[in-house]
Structure 1
């Protein structure tokens, strides 16, 4: 059975064969886990050029250096961190035994057991990282996996399938490629865990399908990640950080800033600083090989539609470094900044996921927080400012998957901290030890002492006259 030509009808056979191999193999040693991770690392080193060529072709323009940095090197970092730390993560954790069994020699511990076969559905905006970063935690935990790359990047998906077919037995890691029909079949399988990266709308379908088999889920979604700029912020630094984030992958990142809240008196100063910062990154957009194109015509029309809707409703639109006519063949776009659009504008309610940004002025901080709370909880939140008390207030009065202070998107690069959402922006985590735990069954073990005192203490039938008074005496509030 090959992993490059699996049809939707064959997928259940692959999964069942992988599950059977998992059971037959028995415990997975630290050495075996490291060896599997090392093979994925070597796969990326060996296939780096075909992979970046494929991503460039799929996007219709994506700098090879950026693809190396974002997808190849980013994945390598996750894989190497897991490889180098998994043996410590695997250790049993001793737990406290209740009295009086602790005095009688009882023992208790938690062991971290692999779950089995994990399905991973990647997405197109980071087509390697959204497969291989969770795979690092999956393999570190001793599992096997079946990967489904996004059909939106078919060339990249084909190279991924070819690479894993060369270096892995599909009973360890398999790759299946296909369209939405396969995705429906994939998410309906009885995996031992399922990872999905994508939109909240599609995640609801994934959850419905997974519920048929009670499959536990890790969902990495998105939302409208806000930026709060305080009156104490370094405005030039904030503008540069936001410009660099919007330039990153053409704004097509799940934790990319969507809405920026700026104090009313600083609005024009911020827009000027943002224009300057973005112009320093891209002096021009047309035919600029450093600009990542919008992935396809459908997503281009979606983003442009949000901007046009706001324009039709009277919003002020600025384009950095300068306006540019839409070209569905080139799809490289300037950063379109929508200033204070009407509240019913689509761009205030839909995740942008592209080269556009909303800027909203505020008079009081609580106005910005109330607006943030009017939407679903986002995957990320950003705060720029030097006031420690205000910073603590923002952290305590908001919810998001993660936070970066005085920069954007940096928290997601932490290896020793969980990455994940909350509410509509996702559930579960990967990265680091928390990722290892996500894909492990934490199995509690109690080892009884040689002597069982319950009968001599009158705690077993037939109950004596002192049993009830003894139990009643133990119901206390201290």
Structure 2
């Protein structure tokens, strides 16, 4: 721990980067003990500051249950830190790889070293303002790196609480937190970092990648998209509705892997809509004044979601509300089920990121798969059903960042499997061994043997007259 808690002034970004890179270079190999110590301090920080971080999120959202914030933004990244500590030594081991024939006959050896990249920038987002910083940070630290973190300016109290916590447990030479608006994030993405992690929208992700390309900085982009759900004809409607309602209600739909579009057999569409409404209302008998309902984060996003629904309603779309809309001026909303909206409506074109769910009917699952494939690659895909052949067809003919079967959201909580997107939903990953590799440089080392056979083989100048004929034989001509 150190005495940086009261520190408010932040050095220029380039100065922070230079200082971290200098001490990183001077440190040399980063031992397992050092990495474990940093991970333990991250876990200790989250534990000590859990209440402060939860209160800050409640204030930033204008209403978010402290228990949910602790579960999602304290406990979840703590689990990342613990998993990394347990697996660290195994991940760090130098690997033996196959040698180069025929040199390997004379003692040549090949090894693969997992080495830290250096300084990693991490830009978090407002919907999970601690998780999107601390969970990737665990894997960054496990790989032996240092980090510069930029919290979201949309949740400024959480950003301050997180900065205070980090400053208590880490030197700025190890981890620096820089607060501020979009201009700070823009400046960070233009630095010659050794790696950059960004969580946010696809549109901003494109700008981040463009900025990072100025210095050829590798990026991990955790974006989003309209994650689809297929409710197969063999699905238990009650179970599917329960899991979907729980998933959509989590953080009021303000989660990157939340279900966005649900496809259901037209013969059972009304059953699903009724079951979804009932499942949601079991969680939230009332919306107004209910502290269990997370508010939409700010007025701009509230008006955005309301605008989607108003446009759909004006177009004559069927909309079912799972509860009454509050009249107290809060930003709490019941789940809205938008049934078979026109493809041109904004709710069909843009990620909802709020408590609304599109319900589309189908007759043939192949048409559903075709519709999903006609859209940008989603971060998550969900399938409900007990038909193994249909499940296999869906998995074999779609592509998404991750998949959950007969549930939603839960794959993102796995620590021993990678989490990330594909195509428009992102690139790169963290969690699991793959997360450790993401922030490591996989460095190949070739060790020469005691004899070089090339002269005897006639493959070094001056070339023998029959070299070409020999090569033709080796090629197989």
TM-score computed with the length of structure 2 as normaliser:
0.98
Compute the displacement of 1:2 (Å).
Answer: 6.4
Pairwise CA RMSD: 1.3
Compute the displacement of 1:456 (Å).
Answer: 2.1
Q: Deviations over 1:311-370 (max 9, x none)?
A: 111100111023445x6x510111011111111111001000001110001011112112
3-state SS in 2 of match to 1:284: coil
Q: What residue in structure 2 maps to residue 168 of structure 1?
A: 170
3-state SS in 1 of match to 2:395: helix
Q: What residue in structure 1 maps to residue 293 of structure 2?
A: 291
Q: What residue in structure 2 maps to residue 232 of structure 1?
A: 234
- Is 1:6–1:177's contact at 8 Å kept on the other side of the alignment? no
Alignment pair present for 1:211 and 2:213: yes
Q: What residue in structure 2 maps to residue 102 of structure 1?
A: 104
- In the alignment, structure 1 segments of 5+ residues that lack a partner are none
- Is 1:6–1:176's contact at 8 Å kept on the other side of the alignment? no
Q: What residue in structure 2 maps to residue 140 of structure 1?
A: 142
Q: Deviations over 1:187-211 (max 9, x none)?
A: 1011100000000000011011000
Alignment pair present for 1:351 and 2:355: no
Compute the displacement of 1:51 (Å).
Answer: 0.7
Distance 1:228 1:476 in 2: 50
Q: Within 5 Å, which residues of 2 pair with 1:428-467?
A: 428-467=428-467
Q: What residue in structure 1 maps to residue 425 of structure 2?
A: 425
Q: What residue in structure 1 maps to residue 416 of structure 2?
A: 416
The one of 305, 312, 326 equivalent to 1:303 is: 305
Distance 2:146 2:9 in 1: 17
Q: What residue in structure 2 maps to residue 367 of structure 1?
A: 367
Q: Which moves more between the two structures, 366-375 or 207-216?
A: 366-375
Distance 1:388 1:381 in 2: 16
Q: Deviations over 1:418-448 (max 9, x none)?
A: 0000000000000011000000000011100
Q: Within 5 Å, which residues of 2 pair with 1:259-274?
A: 259-274=261-276
Compute the displacement of 1:307 (Å).
Answer: 1.0
Distance 2:367 2:349 in 1: 17
Q: What residue in structure 2 maps to residue 114 of structure 1?
A: 116
The one of 25, 28, 33 equivalent to 1:26 is: 28
Distance 1:285 1:323 in 2: 7
Distance 2:387 2:461 in 1: 65
Distance 2:189 2:453 in 1: 50
- Is 1:5–1:176's contact at 8 Å kept on the other side of the alignment? no
Compute the displacement of 1:285 (Å).
Answer: 0.3
Distance 1:382 1:371 in 2: 15
3-state SS in 2 of match to 1:456: helix
Q: What residue in structure 2 maps to residue 377 of structure 1?
A: 377
The one of 245, 248, 252 equivalent to 2:247 is: 245
TM-score computed with the length of structure 1 as normaliser:
0.97
Distance 1:381 1:391 in 2: 12
Distance 1:272 1:165 in 2: 50
Compute the displacement of 1:103 (Å).
Answer: 1.2
Compute the displacement of 1:266 (Å).
Answer: 0.1
Q: Which moves more between the two structures, 367-376 or 72-81?
A: 367-376
3-state SS in 2 of match to 1:269: helix
- What stretches of structure 1 move > 4 A for 4+ residues in a row? 1-4
Q: What residue in structure 2 maps to residue 393 of structure 1?
A: 393
